[in-house]
Amino acid sequence: MATADHSHGPDSALEQRVAALLARMTLAEKIGQMNQVNAGEGVSVESLREGIRAGRIGAVLNAVDPESVDALQRVAVEESRLGIPLLVGRDVIHGYRVVLPIPLGQAATFNADIVRQGARIAALEAAAAGINWTFAPMIDIARDPRWGRIAESLGEDPYLASRLGAAMVEGFQGEDLAAPGAVAACAKHFAGYGAAESGRDYATTNIPENELRNVYLPPFRAAVDAGVATLMTSFSDVNGVPATANAFLLRQVLRQEWGYRGFVVSDWSSIQQLAVHGLTAGDTDSACEAAIAGVDMDMASGVYAAQLEGLVDSGRVGIEVIDAAVASILRVKFRLGLFDQQPGRATRVPAVAIDERLRIAKQAALQSVVLLKNEAGILPLSKANTQSIAVIGPLADEPYEQLGTWIFDGDRSLSVTGLQGLRDLVGGAVEIRYARGMETSRSRSTAGFYEALEAARTSDAVILFLGEESILSGEAHCRADIGLPGEQARLVQVIRQAGTPVIAVIMAGRPLTLTNVIDDFDAVLFAWHPGTMGGAAVADLLFGVESPSGKLPVTFPRAVGQIPIYYNQKRGGKPPSPETTVLIDDIPVRAPQTSIGNTSYHLDAGYKPLFPFGHGLSYTTFEYANLRLDRTVLRIGEALTVSVELKNTGRIAADEVAQLYVRDLVGQVTRPVRELKGVQRVRLAPGEAATVAFRLHSDDLAFFGRDNKPIVEPGEFHVWVGGDSEAGLRAAFRLLAAGAAQ
């Protein structure tokens, strides 16, 4: 889907309208456009009327009642001097009324099409309430699962986050941003927020420029190229300068290098917080630093409204800074078509039947669930061979908790829980014995364990719904210990005593450390927080209506001490291997002081994760064979085709997500051991084979070199194709300079 894009290419008619309106505006009205105020619960239309009428407010957020939104727009359009409509923003992160899996779960689909469809239905539902701006997608690269906001992210990989982030932008904005049902997207948080120290929200980030450009910025560039209307700054300090005052990011990279023409909004009160960081002495200096750095709109703090006029009068902020910011804001409002429509736009949003919205939510949930383990093929269960199941756990029947973080408007009455989904699927064919076991995921009480154990003893299989409540992830909900909270691990041990096969369904907003319980499970479905239709999807997967096809978009550590652990790490000078690593229990007592292999790993955890990036099992088996390159030598500017034979060697039809990885063996800056460069979701019938082909262009091998400029460097490359980031099927090719002889 190609989004109409004026974000980094001027449209003459649009620019004429922007310039004409800007020329009519007073300084106070210009500053008003740069001011966004909270219009949420407890804030009345009347309390905002005078500010809007006087042109002191250009945007509101958190107004979700259609009548109130319409009333606010009427004041702006009909009662203010210039009639400039309002932007109406809301956090529509992974659905509005109908909730899809959390973004990290959507990333596990590795499917840009389903992500795009999900964003589209969210946009339509939100637009029907009068919302025209969403603060999504969040495309921060997240390598630390302790960070609460990893739930909102698209994982650890720049390629995957770039593809899926662009798809979200396209879904929210549609092909024409002015069309009814489209909302302006906002790529956040620019930039490097996911690298917060120790996974603590709002903490400092220290990211070398080369890593910033090679890892953290590519998803934002992809969003800009997809036409994203707005960007939001990060709360965090980036290399000593908070992102909200970081001219390197906002002026040099975003405006000068990328040519971006949308606008930049601060995060909530992040301009005012510049003084808390210690960058400024107070609001006046904070407003000055943010405006000069390139923040066009102040979210919620009121600092711009109070300080900018004086800063312009004193000459500290030039009028050209104000004009550029306001032009960027007006440009987005024109692109949205707000000036060409009367208030009441929400009533013209195309309706989508609830059945279709729920179908997309279920499809996203089905493709997001990752089968981590399936010993002896215990799954799928069979109605014919299963007389009874015990459904146990604090998250088995929680319609709210399965929706996940940041779902202010989600309709929990639409939720199908795991227990309800199983009842709907099996009917009377299988007896279901339900025991909650624990009141909440955090509970320390064991009072419900006996009832749960009895249910397990008298059933053919146990389905344990475990994980985190939704409030345990998301903004400001970071955890130092990312194991199962409360007494869940003890519950697992008790249930295991029944001798009944134990199947875990884990709902969480992040990867969890499961090392202490993984051996007690016969099978594990990791369902993230799967949204409205999560229970229906899980039931279908448990009983084989569909086969799991999700893949991990983030590495699962064995222990917190391994963090950060991610697949695309650098090799280092002493890389570990099975031959050079010795675990702590294998070291002889009073061993001589040696370096034990001289390699980089943890004595008590090794060097491998519990589950690698890209991992995800199926109810069938897939065989990769005959990896071929149509050429083994190419020049810069050319492309090659990588193909592999993929065969379903099992007995059921299923999807496989084939993944292409590349390694640049020698570079002027060291390169990762592997990098994802291609993804294809393929459905095969039992016994069916297909040729899966990837096009790899020399541009796909580009990186930022020692001078932090993009470069495509000749050299030797390895390429792998397989079902996860540890794929073993490998080929090699050589890249030559454009005019070089072979």
Predicted confidence band at 344 (pLDDT cuts at 50, 70, 90)?
low
Nearest Cα residue to 718 out of 659, 657, 673: 673
The pLDDT score that the predictor gives to residue 5 is 44
- Are the C-beta atoms of 87 and 333 separated by less than 8 Å? yes
How large is the average pLDDT for residues 528-557? 98
pLDDT at position 418 over 50: yes
- Taking only the tens place, the pLDDT of each residue in 40-95 is 988 999 999 999 999 999 999 999 999 999 999 999 999 999 999 999 999 999 99
Nearest Cα residue to 134 out of 186, 178, 97, 171: 186
Report all structural domains of the chain as residue ranges with CATH numbers, in order of start. 12-26+84-348 (3.20.20.300), 361-542 (3.40.50.1700), 575-608 (no CATH), 622-736 (2.60.40.10)
Cis peptide before 686 (omega within 30 of 0): no
Residue listed under structure tokens 């569909």: 546
The 3-state DSSP class for residue 254 equals helix
- Are the C-beta atoms of 415 and 403 separated by less than 8 Å? yes
How large is the average pLDDT for residues 165-176? 97
- Taking only the tens place, the pLDDT of each residue in 237-286 is 999 999 999 999 999 999 999 999 999 999 999 999 999 999 999 999 99
User: Residue 100 carries which DSSP code?
Assistant: P
The identity of residue 13, as a single letter, is A
How large is the average pLDDT for residues 209-229? 98
Strands 263-265 and 523-526: unpaired
Catalytic sites, residue numbers: 267
State CA 532 to chain mean position distance.
18
pLDDT at position 562 over 70: yes
The pLDDT score that the predictor gives to residue 346 is 55
Predicted confidence band at 571 (pLDDT cuts at 50, 70, 90)?
very high
Residue listed under structure tokens 């080929």: 731
As a three-state string, the secondary structure of 714-728 is: CEEEEEEEECCCCCC
Nearest Cα residue to 720 out of 686, 683, 677: 677
* pTM (2 d.p.): 0.97
Distance (Å) of CA 597 to CA 576, 582, 600:
8, 8, 9
- Are the C-beta atoms of 161 and 202 separated by less than 8 Å? no
Which helix (DSSP H) or strand (DSSP E) does residue 219 occupy? helix 218-225
pLDDT at position 4 over 50: no
Q: How many CA atoms lie within 13 A of 526 on its CB side?
A: 30
- Are the C-beta atoms of 368 and 527 separated by less than 8 Å? yes
Query: Which residues make Cβ contacts (< 8 Å) with residue 23, sequence separation at least 6?
Result: none
Nearest Cα residue to 467 out of 512, 502, 412: 512
Nearest Cα residue to 362 out of 410, 404, 411, 415: 415
- Are the C-beta atoms of 237 and 205 separated by less than 8 Å? yes
Nearest Cα residue to 172 out of 126, 232, 111: 126
The 3-state DSSP class for residue 371 equals strand
pLDDT at position 166 over 50: yes
Handedness of CA 705, 707, 708, 711 (dihedral sign): negative
pLDDT at position 291 over 90: yes
The pLDDT score that the predictor gives to residue 1 is 39
